[in-house]
Copies of this chain bind each other. A is one copy, B any other.
Amino acid sequence: MPLKALVFDAYGTLFDVHSVIARWEALWPGHGANLSQQWRSRQLEYTWLRTLMGRYENFERVTRDSLRWACDNLKLDCDEARVAMLLEEYRRLKTFPEIAATLPRLKGRKLAILSNGTPAMLADLVWHNRLDTVLDATLSVDELKMYKPAPPVYQLAVDRLGVDARQIGFVSSNGWDAGGAKSFGFRTFWINRAGAPV
């Protein structure tokens, strides 16, 4: 069955989360990579746990809370000005190098983002990377008040794009996200950037 739409995860798939490491490193020399890794992993945990508990807070809040946690854990001084600066940086992540050339070549199908980010965070990313002309939709979990990999999140793409799940290709660099999408019924493409085991 031919694919009528391609749906992309945002953070870590289209946009390079670790491009902010340099900024961490400037603020806290020697701790950039570690902070970035702990932040990201705690951020994901919070999305899963909040969804399981039925205690949704938006991704801006989760991102802030997880940054504070990671700073505390590494005993780094993280005042409000620094948190604000880092969150601002997070809204200006750049796409991975291959993305700019690849996306336009996939036109003909519907192209969309489906992400945990808030509509405002995603709008900034799309804008700064000039993806608005190439994307047909930018979908946020925020209206559902739950995070990936809860099945209603993937259903959102089916409903908004008006394309059957079996004709949607889902692209993610996150193994657990690709697993959730596959379990839901999408054709799934896992970009294994980290070389992790299945």
- Docked Cα-Cα span, A53 to B72, in Å, equals 31
Q: Does chain B have a CB within 8 A of A189?
A: no
Copies of this chain, tallied across the complex: 2
Assess whether A73 is in contact with B179, with CB atoms less than 8 Å apart. Answer: no
Which residues does chain B contribute within 8 Å of A190, judged by CB atoms? none
Q: Which of A9-17, A44-52, A92-100, A122-130 contacts B (4 or more CB under 8 A)?
A: A44-52
Task: Give the contacts of A146-198 with B (CB-CB under 8 A).
Answer: 148-151, 176, 179-180, 183-184, 196-197
Q: Give the Cβ gap from A12 to chain B, nearest Cβ, in Å.
A: 16
Which of A49, A52, A55, A184 has the most B CB atoms < 10 Å from its CB? A52
- Docked Cα-Cα span, A185 to B53, in Å, equals 12
Q: Which residues of A contact B (CB under 8 A)?
A: 45, 48-49, 51-55, 69, 72-73, 148-151, 176, 179-180, 183-184, 196-197
Assess whether A52 is in contact with B180, with CB atoms less than 8 Å apart. Answer: yes
Given A73-B196, A197-B69, A176 and B45 contact (CB-CB distance below 8 Å): yes
Assess whether B48 is in contact with A49, with CB atoms less than 8 Å apart. Answer: yes
- Docked Cα-Cα span, A133 to B150, in Å, equals 41
Which residues does chain B contribute within 8 Å of A148, judged by CB atoms? 52
Assess whether A151 is in contact with B48, with CB atoms less than 8 Å apart. Answer: no
Q: Give the Cβ gap from A108 to chain B, nearest Cβ, in Å.
A: 31
Q: Give the Cβ gap from A144 to chain B, nearest Cβ, in Å.
A: 13
Which of A53, A55, A180, A184 has the most B CB atoms < 10 Å from its CB? A53
Q: Which residue of B lies closest to A150 (CB)?
A: B52
Assess whether B179 is in contact with A53, with CB atoms less than 8 Å apart. Answer: yes
